[in-house]
Amino acid sequence: MKPQTEDATTQNWLKEAQKGYIRMGVLILLSRKPSHGYEIMKEINNRTQGFWQPTPGGVYPILRDLEKSGYIKGHWQTLKNRRLKTYAITKSGDAILKRAIVKQTEIFKSISSLFNEFARDVLNIEGTEIPFPPLPFSAFLEENKSCKENLQQLEHKRKHALESIKSIKEQLKQIDYQIATLKREANPKPDENNKEPHTR
């Protein structure tokens, strides 16, 4: 498989995963208070600090699907001379949300465990726990934060990123050493002492 094809495939996987997490994020936000589509998009963008920048084309189909499934209910109202549809979570939506959070948490822990096994068994990194980011939907589970708390969150993310970089550098050193060892074994250099003297 060509690198371009691999990149396209992984991007598609990420988009599909993101849709699922935004779906959960929408339900979590609506479990806190009824909102219209623009409020939801703005809140997702704020809570993920711009990491997710949902568009109307991404959010409104999710809202329609959730409403069709009976997990949310919308009603029209007029705000500042604009007609907007405000959505609220239903009992069914609340039940499915709680179940989904439990399942997704279990899946995320399992994937984290698999990555640690990979680091140990394939990369030969002993006794090192690879740091992982928080759950993808954890930003929605917390109350909205003040600027000071957002600063603390960013500092925490920065610390986590630095730990990840350090771990990746250690992995690269291990991999480079293994590559160099395998190359030496595959192409041993002749011993200079065992060369026959040149005759003139």
Letter for the amino acid at 52? Answer: W
Separation of alpha carbons 45 and 106, rounded Å: 26
Torsion of CA 45, 48, 53, 58, to 10 degrees: -90
Question: What are the tokens at 95?
Answer: 């039940």
* pLDDT score, position 160: 72
- List, run by run, the mean pLDDT of 10-residue segments along the chain (200 residues): 66 71 88 92 82 85 94 89 91 90 77 70 58 53 50 70 78 85 80 52
pTM (2 decimals)? 0.55
Q: Are 104 and 152 in contact (CB under 8 A)?
A: no
Question: Of the candidates 164, 94, 114, 99, which has an alpha carbon nearest to the alpha carbon of residue 134?
Answer: 164
Q: How far is CA 25 from CA 98, 111, 120, in A?
A: 12, 20, 33
Cross-strand bridge partners of residue 78: 83
Of the options 3.40.50.300, 1.10.10.10, 1.10.3720.10, 3.30.70.20, the CATH number for the domain spanning 3-144: 1.10.10.10
How confident is the model at residue 146, as a pLDDT?
43
